[in-house]
Amino acid sequence: MKKMIFEENSCGAPAQFNPTPGPSPKREGGIIPLRLKPPNSGYDRFKSLVVKLGGEQAPLPLGAVAGGGADTHRVSTQLTLLLFSLLLLSATCRRRVPDDTITPATTPLSADVLIQKLRQNAPEKINTISAHARIYAESEAGAVEAGANLIWIRDSVLWVNIKKLGIEAVRALVTPDSVIVLNRLEKTVQAKGLDALQREYNLPEGFPLLQHLLLASAWIAPDLHLQADIKDSLHRLAGTNGRYSADYRVEEGAFVLRQATFLQQQDAGLLGLQYGQFKKLPGAGVFPYFRRIEIFSPESGTARLEIEFTEIEINVPKPYRFEIPDHYQRME
């Protein structure tokens, strides 16, 4: 077993992201920094993230800090605090993910075998989730730590409320085609099509991808051409379909998804997912209690959302309420 520690390095020199299998880049001082180069952005606006595996360090792709008006950041912050797959990495480096252990991969497997293993582990019998969580959200506009309650119904709805110091700040309802956010503090409501957010952040998919993120299962488009190898002690599936590149990291033995990265080839939009703190959960097998979501969009900038579940119930339906008060101001 190896101990996996996620940490950030604010001083590393940038390096090129290569989402397809191939030789590892040259290490300098035990660290491989990673650079993404979106159009019209300078290298001085980027940070690097390293994954330290029992003393060895290897790169994970990050986004960059992009500009944007105050209104854009304000609207994005309201939405991305709620949507697990829509919050992105910030320019500040600070948080350290709790230690985790992995079973290192030693024998390469074919892409077909790894895909089959991932599909066998897909939690198809989970139809509802209700959970309490601690969240940490960070963007150019600032950072916030809060508590959250979540109710998810397969193929139907994701309901979330966020509280700070016991006071509800935000409540959101996500459906396969829309997002509605109530700002309890400012008495405002904002409704937006999920497809609009998908375009804004250059995401490869909408609600189905959000569900896979919540369930920690691999969303794999049918037209992806994937190859397999071993990278940083994990099985790797990587390839492209011409629109975006994908990179999946899978643990040996349990064959759980540890990381997934999607890079839009046209404009360098990036979505990065990491999972940790796997525990046995009744009705779900081995389930990760920790998630980190990072996204970069040239239009919308960068931010990050970290979620650590504290309580989870599987297939125990829970009631939820979502009413829009008449006096709330509607935001465009």
Residue 124 maps to which CATH number? 2.50.20.10
Identify the pLDDT of residue 289.
96
> What is the arithmetic mean of pLDDT over 188-205?
87
Average pLDDT over residues 280-303: 88
Indicate whether 246 pLDDT > 90: yes
pLDDT average, residue stretch 297-308: 86
More confident residue, 215 or 88: 215
- Give the pLDDT score at 196: 87
Structural domain boundaries, residue 177: 2-331
Per residue in 100-154, pLDDT (tens digit) is 788 999 999 999 999 999 999 888 899 999 999 999 999 888 899 999 999 999 9
Average pLDDT over residues 230-243: 95
pLDDT band at 98 (very low <50, low <70, confident <90, very high): low
| Edge-first strand listing for the sheet containing 100-102 | 56-60, 48-53, 2-9, 100-102
Report which of residues 298 and 87 the model is more confident about. Answer: 298
Q: Which positions ≥6 away from 110 have C-beta within 8 Å? A: 228
pLDDT at position 34 over 70: no
Confidence at residue 95, expressed as pLDDT on a 0 to 100 scale: 54
Residue 1 pLDDT grade (very low, low, confident, very high; cuts 50, 70, 90): low
- Structure confidence at residue 99 (pLDDT): 63
pLDDT band of residue 33 (cuts 50, 70, 90) is very low
What are the tokens at 16? Answer: 């090129």
- pLDDT, mean of residues 160-166: 93
CA 211 and chain centroid, separation: 12
**Mean pLDDT across the stretch 273-280?**
95
Give the pLDDT of residue 96: 53
Question: How confident is residue 160, by pLDDT bands cut at 50, 70 and 90?
Answer: very high
Please indicate, yes or no, whether the overall pTM of this predicted structure exceeds 0.85: no
Give the pLDDT score at 300: 74
Of residues 80 and 133, which shows the higher confidence score? 133
| Average pLDDT across the chain, whole number | 76
pLDDT attached to residue 70: 43
**pLDDT higher than 70, residue 332:** yes
Number of folded domains that form the chain:
1
Mean pLDDT to the nearest integer, 85-97: 38
pLDDT of residue 230 exceeding 90: yes
